[in-house]
Amino acid sequence: MKKTLSSVIALSVLASCASVEQPGLKDVFQDHFMMGAALNEAEINGTDTLGIELIKKNFNTIVAENCMKSEVIHPEKDRYDFSLADKFVDFGNENGMFVVGHCLIWHSQCAPWFFLNEDGSQIDAEELKARMKEHITTVMTRYKGRVHGWDVVNEAVVEDGSYRQSKFYEILGEEFIPLAFQYAHEADPDAELYINDYGMNVPGRRDTYVRIVSDLKSRGLRIDAVGMQGHMGMDYPDFAQFEESLNAFAGTGVKVMITEWDMSALPTVNRGADVADTEAYNAMMNPYPDGLPEDVSAKWNERMKTFMDLFVKHSDVITRVTAWGVSDDDSWKNDWPMRGRVEYPLLFDRELQPKAFLREYMKKEHIK
């Protein structure tokens, strides 16, 4: 969050007023699921003091936005960097939160050394198994009993239901998934283990995850939940498909978690668009640099409420709803999939106030 001194004072006043009137989200939804947020570096380091207050008040589960990803925590073969991850875990433990580790095996934000021999050639299957096991074991052992659940495998399947052509898949085939779950369970038998992906409403991807989870279970491997990331926009995902996926995952006997919830309020970027005038295109794609117009905000809030109601409806299987950041200024969506847009995707606005749809739930204190 970027703040000037006067805005910090104004925000502090607002935050303290808010804390008198508003119950925390974790209390509002306490009969249904844990409420969570992804923490960024400024929050973990404690420099974003207002952000930290908001987190303590509203969330009972946290996940690391970046600091546990393999390129950060394990940048070289023989070097780990636990500096931020340690602080993240300490913060969660000190505040009695359910701490989630994100993530162990993912093609992205993974340092290139992971797949290479010293001479630069690609490692073979046995070596990749050894490296996966070493990585998973080292990271999970360090936080044994203190990180309560892990995204073991992230984003392994593409829309048509085929496996993503990652290095893990290229070198080990489908077996990389059961192996990761086996190593993770051996490292910390008490930790919950999850498989996580975006676009989970898409039928092809849904079917493959149902097959993967069933396969893990039939082999006797531990898997506790499917993580539906929940990166949304005003025109995706399709609501009925999303609910169908939720039911399909629950049908395999695991829990479901909404793990990275955010909803873009801006036009959806179509990378295939034929763009003649770049400047005009950029302006069109960043239409609300000075604030979200009322009508757009109303639509956004209505759509968020529809999904929140769905989560409440399915709270027999949904155990956690985690937003991918705290307030709009923090969101990765300000720079993705286009850089430099002013986005409005999170649960709290730039003044650190809860969005309108949440204020409605807050009025009811707990949702029964």
For the bound state, the minimum distance from the C-beta of residue 345 to ligand XIL, rounded and expressed in Å, comes to: 11
> Cα dist. 281→159, 311, 341 in Å?
27, 36, 12
Cβ neighbours of 124 (radius 10 Å): 11
Write the interaction track for ligand XIL spanning residues 325-354; mark x where CB under 6 A is met and - where it is not.
Answer: -------x----------------------
Residue pair 173/128 in contact (Cβ under 8 Å)? The answer is no
For the bound state, the minimum distance from the C-beta of residue 18 to ligand XIL, rounded and expressed in Å, comes to: 26
Cβ neighbours of 133 (radius 10 Å): 17
Q: Which is nearer to ligand XIL, 224 or 360 (CB)?
A: 224
Q: Which is nearer to ligand XIL, 104 or 128 (CB)?
A: 104
Could you say whether residue 154 binds ligand XIL (CB under 6 A)?
Answer: yes
Residue pair 132/183 in contact (Cβ under 8 Å)? The answer is yes
Residue pair 113/159 in contact (Cβ under 8 Å)? The answer is no
Structure tokens at 268: 């959806």
155 given a catalytic annotation: yes
For the bound state, the minimum distance from the C-beta of residue 266 to ligand XIL, rounded and expressed in Å, comes to: 16
Q: Which is nearer to ligand XIL, 28 or 153 (CB)?
A: 153
For the bound state, the minimum distance from the C-beta of residue 303 to ligand XIL, rounded and expressed in Å, comes to: 20
365 given a catalytic annotation: no
**From the centroid of its chain, how far is CA 296?**
25
Please give the Cα distance from 319 to 178 (Å, whole number).
23
Please give the Cα distance from 328 to 343 (Å, whole number).
7
Q: Which is nearer to ligand XIL, 252 or 322 (CB)?
A: 322
Binder of ligand XIL out of 24, 37, 60, 65 (CB under 6 A): 65
Q: How far apart are the first and last CA of the chain?
A: 34
Structure tokens at 292: 């979200």
Please give the Cα distance from 149 to 156 (Å, whole number).
19
Q: Which is nearer to ligand XIL, 48 or 129 (CB)?
A: 48
Binder of ligand XIL out of 22, 58, 60, 66 (CB under 6 A): 66
Write the interaction track for ligand XIL spanning residues 10-49; mark x where CB under 6 A is met and - where it is not.
Answer: ----------------------------------------
Number of residues that bind ligand XIL (CB under 6 A): 6
* Distant-in-sequence, close-in-space partners of 26: CB < 8 Å, separation ≥ 6: 34, 35, 58, 59, 60
Q: Which is nearer to ligand XIL, 105 or 304 (CB)?
A: 105
Q: Which is nearer to ligand XIL, 154 or 245 (CB)?
A: 154
Q: Which of these is catalytic: 43, 155, 192, 343?
A: 155
Please give the Cα distance from 122 to 44 (Å, whole number).
35
Q: Which of these is catalytic: 260, 279, 302, 351?
A: 260
**Sole residue written with tokens 């973990």:** 44
Residue whose CB is nearest to ligand XIL in the complex, by number: 332
Interface with ligand XIL in residues 220-249 (CB under 6 A): 229
For the bound state, the minimum distance from the C-beta of residue 313 to ligand XIL, rounded and expressed in Å, comes to: 25
Residue pair 310/330 in contact (Cβ under 8 Å)? The answer is no
Write the interaction track for ligand XIL spanning residues 184-223; mark x where CB under 6 A is met and - where it is not.
Answer: ----------------------------------------
Residue pair 34/61 in contact (Cβ under 8 Å)? The answer is yes
Which chain residues interact with ligand XIL by CB under 6 A?
Answer: 65-66, 154, 229, 260, 332
Among all residues, which ones are annotated catalytic? Answer: 155, 260
